[in-house]
């Protein structure tokens, strides 16, 4: 963490208060926690993208199967073969 090292050096060289060192230490710990969180979120994002891609592939496969079935199925309406299958019931 180069920026913090230079700040610490400046604090030491200029005899600044220990409070400033504590602030730098706090910033370091917060930055490390955020880096850890970012790493976890990147991993989760990768897992979710992989899962999404799997579902997309599955949806495309199922759509192709459905299209194939539709093309092979006769289409009835009121007892006559016409446009599409009418599966509604009143």
One-letter-per-residue 3-state SS of 41-74: HHHHHHHHHHHHHHHHHHHHHHHHHHHHHHHHCC
- In Å, how far from its chain's centre is CA 62? 24
pLDDT digits (tens), the chain, 90 positions:
577 787 777 767 666 667 777 888 899 999 999 999 999 999 999 999 999 999 999 999 999 999 998 888 777 665 555 555 556 655
Nearest C-alpha neighbor of 25 from the set 53, 4, 43: 4
Q: Rounded to 10 degrees, what is the CA torsion of 46, 49, 55, 57?
A: -100
Residue ranges of the domains in the chain? 2-81
């Amino acid at each position: 963490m180069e920026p913090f090292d230079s700040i610490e050096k400046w604090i030491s060289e200029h005899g600044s208060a220990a409070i400033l060192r504590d602030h730098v230490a706090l910033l370091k710990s917060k930055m490390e926690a955020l880096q850890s969180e970012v790493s976890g979120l990147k991993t989760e994002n990768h897992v979710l993208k992989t899962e999404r891609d799997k579902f997309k592939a599955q949806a495309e496969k199922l759509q192709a199967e459905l299209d194939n079935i539709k093309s092979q199925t006769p289409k009835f309406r009121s007892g006559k073969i016409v446009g599409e299958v009418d599966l509604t019931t009143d």
